[in-house]
Copies of this chain bind each other. A is one copy, B any other.
Amino acid sequence: MTTQPDRTRRPFVIEDAIALLSRTPSTLDALLRGLPDDWIAATEGGDTWSPFDVIGHLIHGERTDWMPRAKIILEHGEAKPFEKFDRLAQFAASEGRTLASLLDEFAALRQGNLRALESLHLTDADLGRRGRHPALGDVTLRQLLATWVAHDLDHVMQVSRVLARQYSEEVGPWRAYLRIISGTQG
């Protein structure tokens, strides 16, 4: 007898994480590069982010969040809390930039960070090492790297949603069938 595998959860495996992380720049590039400016600047209202803002945010994460925090865990453990991440840094940093140049920069930074990650040859023991998040407290390196993956996908989801909702009125009665517009999650 075989038991049905659980298809709703995967254990963290570093090779899988790298496979997923390496796909984000090309996914966002395929989705966004060359779109008319009004779509790149689209938002969900208020202080929600546009696709342009999201790419700047991902760049800032490559520079200050994921690999820098991984190194803090490996070098200092819980003794040195992570720097607080600046969620608004991209608004100044991306000013005057083109989307194309941001996509290029994100791809280059990600490639460099994944090379650095691979060169660490992390063991299971390494992945279990602990660091200190300034708000969340104790976290493991495994949790940090799993979060990097999920955070990428969260922003791919966000960009898709921002774009789709531009047609909230234009879809007419189909609105009822489109969860991306009606706001109900599957």
| Number of copies of this protein chain within its complex | 2
Chain B residue at minimal CB-CB distance from A85: B177
Q: Which of A73-81, A94-102, A108-116, A161-169 is near enough to bind chain B?
A: A161-169
By a CB distance below 8 angstroms, the chain B residues around A166 are 8-10
**Of A19, A38, A143, A150, which is in contact with the most chain B CB atoms at under 10 Å from its CB?**
A150
How many chain A residues sit at the interface, stated as a range, is: 35 or more
Measured CB to CB, the closest approach of chain B to A183, in angstroms, equals 6
By a CB distance below 8 angstroms, the chain B residues around A183 are 185
Contact A151 B178 (CB under 8 A): yes
Chain B residue at minimal CB-CB distance from A144: B174
Taking A8-B168, A156-B160 as known contacts, 10 extra A-B pairs with beta carbons closer than 8 A to each other, sorted by chain A number, are: A7-B38, A10-B170, A23-B31, A143-B172, A149-B164, A150-B164, A150-B171, A153-B160, A153-B164, A154-B164
17 CB < 8 A contacts A-B: A9-B166, A10-B42, A10-B166, A11-B170, A16-B36, A19-B36, A48-B186, A136-B177, A137-B173, A139-B172, A146-B170, A146-B174, A150-B174, A153-B161, A154-B181, A156-B157, A160-B160
